[in-house]
Amino acid sequence: MEQTAEPVLDIRGLRTIFRVRGGEITAVNDIDLSIAAGETLALVGESGSGKSVTSLSVMRLLTRGIGAIAAGSIRLTTRGGAAQDLVGLDEESMRRIRGDDIGMVFQEPMSSLNPVFTIGDQIAEPLRVHRGADRKKAMDAAVALLESVGIPDARRRAGQYPHELSGGMRQRATIAMALACDPALLIADEPTTALDVTIQAQILDLLLKLQRERGMAMLFVTHNLGVVAEIAHRVAVMYAGRIVEEGPVGEVFRNPKHPYTMGLLASMPRLGDAARMKQAGEKLAAIPGMVPSLMNMPSGCAFSPRCTFAIDACRAVVPGLEQVNPQHRSRCIRWQEI
């Protein structure tokens, strides 16, 4: 999918830090990302790669006094056509944007839903706050939203509390809440991780359907490459706080140009692998080693200690994102060879 002239979300040079033990660590380092209306960008990587910190930076939900945006811009274009840099906004202005121009679906619905308010009240709240709807209109809209995300007997469910719903229904309710004000951008931070496989598929289908109907941009954070293949147009692979590869999903999956992406794809189990590997005495491929500590980053390319292609030049300087083609980039000095 081609980028529009004015993306809904345009991140440039984002650097996010955390203040710990009297010092600073960089959790997100010089990130450039853009998402067009109707497009899904998947942000992929192991735990600790900086995916969730990136999404929390966009929402400006970093822990006050500990996390902070140290550099860069986060430009959001609303449905009304207004564009503004979120980094420079005060908290009151950001509060007006959250839930209105940007919706967010979190990984664990029980941690994002308030246990002492009914589902209907929580979905109606953004409509009352951002749209000025009265209680009855907001509740009627909440019921309609529950119906739109596939919850049966929506009027009754709206009067229930989070603990009275199944995990799949709770996640559908959080999606309804995130979409209440028809945001220009939806951030989904591993929204299917806590669900079983069958419910995962239902939630992914729901997100795809709602995005097509609403034409919103979506930033989908996940560690699951199978999910990426199903839901995203483009993928950005993160490692140790940096984007190491970015491009259209089909191209990156067919022709990866970074050793980390290659390792992630090789470690994905495929249908029929178990029987074949057992017979051949093989094991599923795995990337050796661990993601480096942000407090003790290796010199040069952060992936070099785990990379079978690494040479001395890889450890000398941090490589830049090089153009494989106009839509595909890789942070590897040997991408043409591998």
- For the chain, the 3-state helix, strand and coil shares in percent, each to the nearest 5, are 35, 25, 40
- Residue 2's pLDDT band (boundaries 50, 70, 90)? very low
Q: Sign of the C-alpha dihedral, residues 9, 16, 331, 286?
A: negative
Tell me which residue of 125, 132, 133 sits closest to 103, measured CA to CA.
125
Q: What is the predicted pLDDT for the residue at 274?
A: 62
Contact 287, 260 (CB under 8 A): yes
Identify the weakest region by mean pLDDT among 3-12, 194-203, 269-278.
269-278
Q: What is the predicted pLDDT for the residue at 259?
A: 96
Asked if the model's pLDDT at residue 276 lies above 70, the reply is: no
Q: Which DSSP symbol is given to 98?
A: B
The contacts of residue 159 (CB under 8 Å, 6+ apart) are: 118, 119, 120
Residue 244's CB is within 10 A of a number of other CB atoms, namely 25
Contact 227, 203 (CB under 8 A): no
| 207-229 tens-digit pLDDT | 999 999 999 999 999 988 889 99
Q: What is the predicted pLDDT for the residue at 299?
A: 95
Q: Is the model more confident about 338 or about 176?
A: 176
Residue 322's CB is within 10 A of a number of other CB atoms, namely 14
Contact 145, 211 (CB under 8 A): no
- Considering 16-25, 87-96, 274-283, the range whose residues carry the highest mean pLDDT is 87-96
Task: Map out the domains of the chain as residue ranges.
Answer: 110-180
Asked if the model's pLDDT at residue 18 lies above 70, the reply is: yes
Identify the weakest region by mean pLDDT among 24-28, 114-118, 125-129, 265-269.
265-269
How many Cα atoms are found within 13 Å in the side-chain-facing hemisphere of 176? 31
Q: What's the mean pLDDT in 184-190? A: 95
Q: What's the mean pLDDT in 157-176? A: 95
- Residue 275's pLDDT band (boundaries 50, 70, 90)? low
Q: Is the pTM higher than 0.85?
A: yes
- Residue 26's pLDDT band (boundaries 50, 70, 90)? very high
Q: How far apart are CA 176 and CA 144, in angstroms?
A: 9
Helix axis angle for 197-214 and 167-178, nearest 10°, is: 20
Identify the weakest region by mean pLDDT among 141-155, 186-200, 206-220.
186-200
Tell me which residue of 107, 176, 303 sits closest to 311, measured CA to CA.
303
Q: What's the mean pLDDT in 56-79? A: 94
Asked if the model's pLDDT at residue 1 lies above 50, the reply is: no
What is the biggest distance separating any 2 CA atoms in the chain, rounded to whole angstroms?
A: 67
Q: How far apart are CA 254 and CA 276, in angstroms?
A: 22
Contact 204, 227 (CB under 8 A): yes
Asked if the model's pLDDT at residue 79 lies above 60, the reply is: yes
Rg (CA), the chain: 21
Secondary structure class of 191 (helix, strand, coil): coil
The two three-digit tokens of residue 139, written as one number: 């509740």
Q: What is the predicted pLDDT for the residue at 267?
A: 86
